[in-house]
Amino acid sequence: MTWLESVGIWLALSGTGCISRPRGLNKGGWPLSRKIKVLLAKAGLDPHDKGIKLVARKLREIGGMEVFYTGLYRSVDEIVEAALQERPDIVGLSVHTGMQMSLFPELRYKLNEKGAAAICLIGGGVIPPRDVQVLKEQGCVAEVFGPNQSVEEAIDWIKTRPWLA
């Protein structure tokens, strides 16, 4: 059994994120000021941040979301810690280094381990479709957006998640 498969089994047992949680029941139009919060992250020695900065800006400008960006060269532990302290709805990890098969499982595993299974994990960057399929099957990511997709598609995807309603 590979490391990835074992994580997959662990995730299958512990829940794969994106669970709707008992918060913000909007009873009768109470003036909620809820915002969708997204933490965008770059991990390891990956220096390609042009895309993620564009995504950050568009999520803020077009999506009206609150966006955190971790900056470059973060370790998975640092991203997990930032996620625990900021409590976003979604963590978006951008990968341009071919490290997707270790970074996504590790990040998902550590988030779940620290009790943040409710935080949804999405991916971006250059990730081959076959890897996307495996990662999705193992429950490591909810969705992956590639270079041929517009940021608007990602915004639509986020806004149509039932667990954010």
Partner 1 sequence: MEELGKKAMAGDMRAASRLIRNIEDNIPDTHKAIKHIFPHTGRAHVVGLTGAPGAGKSTITDELLMAIRKKNKTVGVLAVDPTSPFTGGALLGDRIRMLRHAEDPGVFIRSLATRGAMGGLSKAVGDGIHVLDVMGKDVIIVETVGVGQQEVDIINHAHTVIVVLVPGMGDDVQAIKAGLMEIADIFVINKADRDGAKKLYKETKNMIGMGKWTNGWEPPVLMIESVMEPHSFARSVAELNEKIEAHYQHLVDKNILADRAHRKVVTELNDALKAAILDPVLKKLMQDGEMEGMIAKLKTKETDPYSLAEAVALKYMKDI
Can residue 15 be called a binding residue for partner 1 (CB under 8 A)?
A: no
Q: Does 59 bind partner 1 (CB under 8 A)?
A: yes
Binders of partner 1 among 76-105, rule CB under 8 A? Answer: 77-78, 81-82, 84-87
47 lies in the binding site for partner 1 (CB under 8 A): no
Show the 3-state SS of the chain: CCHHHHHHHHHHHHCCCCCCCCCCCCHHHCCCCCCCEEEEEEECCCCCCHHHHHHHHHHHHCCCCEEEECCCCECHHHHHHHHHHHCCCEEEEEECCCCHHHHHHHHHHHHHHCCCCCCEEEEEECCCHHHHHHHHHCCCCCEEECCCCCHHHHHHHHHCCHHHC
Q: Is 32 in the site for partner 1 (CB under 8 A)?
A: yes
Q: Stretches 29-37, 93-101, 121-129, 131-139: which one binds partner 1 (CB under 8 A)?
A: 29-37
CB of 123 to partner 1, least distance (A): 20
Binding site for partner 1 (CB under 8 A): 23-25, 27-35, 37, 56-57, 59-71, 74, 77-78, 81-82, 84-87, 114-116
